[in-house]
Structure 1
Amino acid sequence: MTLKPPPLLRASLLAAITVPLVLWLGLMLGSSGWGWTSPEIVWMIRVPRVMAAFGTGAALALGGALIQLVTRNPLSDPHVLGVTSGASVGALVALMLLPASFAFAPELGAMLGALLSTSLVFLLAWRGMGRGLLPGAQSGSIVMLLVGAMIGAASSAAVSFMLAIARDQQLRNLVFWLLGDLNGVTHWWPVWAGLLLAMLLALPHARELDLMSRGDGWAWTLGVPVARRRRLAILASCIAVGTAVATAGSIGFVGLVAPHVIRLLGLRAAQWLLPFSALFGGVFLVLADAVARTVIAPSQLPVGVVSAAVGVPVFLLLLLRRGAHK
Structure 2
Amino acid sequence: MSVCARPASVVACLVAAALGTLLLGLAAGSSGFGFAASEIVWQIRAPRVLAGFGAGAALALAGALMQSLTRNALADPYVLGISSGAAVGALSAMLLGGIGAATVSAWWAHWGVAAGASLGAFGATLLLLGLSWRVLTSSGVSGNQEAPVSLLLIGVMIGSAGSAVVTLLLTFAPEVQLRGMVFWLLGDLNGATHWIAVWTALLLALAATWPWAHQLDWLARGDAWAATLGVPVVRRRRQVLLAAALATGAAVATGGAIGFVGLVAPHALRLLGLRHAPWLLPASALAGGAFVVLADAAARTVVAPVQLPVGVLAAAVGVPSFLVLLLRGPRGVRR
Kindly state the Cα deviation for residue 215 of structure 1 after the two structures are TM-superposed. 0.8
Deviations 1:198-230 (A, max 9, x none): 111111221222211111111112221111111
Normalising to structure 2: TM-score of the pair?
A: 0.84
Deviations 1:217-250 (A, max 9, x none): 1111222111111111111011100000000111
1:290 corresponds in structure 2 to: 297
Letter in 1 for 2:216: L
Kindly state the Cα deviation for residue 263 of structure 1 after the two structures are TM-superposed. 1.1
Kindly state the Cα deviation for residue 314 of structure 1 after the two structures are TM-superposed. 0.6
2:247 corresponds, among 240, 254, 257, to: 240
Change in Cα spacing, 1:14 to 1:140, as seen in structure 2 (3 Å) is same
CA distance in 2, matches of 1:20, 1:111: 30
Deviates more, 1:218-227 or 1:89-98: 89-98
Deviations 1:82-126 (A, max 9, x none): 3322222233345556895779623531431441464377469x5
Equivalent residue runs for 1:114-263 within 5 Å: 114-116=124-126, 118-119=128-129, 122=132, 126=135, 137=145, 145=152, 147-166=154-173, 171=178, 174-263=181-270
Kindly state the Cα deviation for residue 264 of structure 1 after the two structures are TM-superposed. 1.6
1:305 corresponds in structure 2 to: 312
Cα pair 1:91 1:113 within 8 Å, conserved: no
Cα pair 2:183 2:309 within 8 Å, conserved: no
Letter in 1 for 2:64: A
Cα pair 1:23 1:286 within 8 Å, conserved: yes
Aligned length in residues? 321
Deviations 1:106-148 (A, max 9, x none): 3531431441464377469x59xx95999984x7766655554
SS across alignment from 1:187: coil
Change in Cα spacing, 1:6 to 1:308, as seen in structure 2 (3 Å) is closer
Cα pair 1:253 1:311 within 8 Å, conserved: yes
CA distance in 1, matches of 2:317, 2:141: 34
CA RMSD of aligned residues (A): 3.1
Kindly state the Cα deviation for residue 281 of structure 1 after the two structures are TM-superposed. 0.3
Cα pair 1:84 1:252 within 8 Å, conserved: no
Taking only the aligned residue pairs, the percentage that are identical comes to 54
Kindly state the Cα deviation for residue 163 of structure 1 after the two structures are TM-superposed. 2.7
Normalising to structure 1: TM-score of the pair?
A: 0.86
1:39 corresponds in structure 2 to: 38
Kindly state the Cα deviation for residue 9 of structure 1 after the two structures are TM-superposed. 3.0
**Which residues of structure 2 form unaligned runs of 5+?**
98-103
Letter in 1 for 2:232: P
Deviates more, 1:258-267 or 1:158-167: 158-167
Deviates more, 1:204-213 or 1:273-282: 204-213
CA distance in 1, matches of 2:66, 2:36: 41
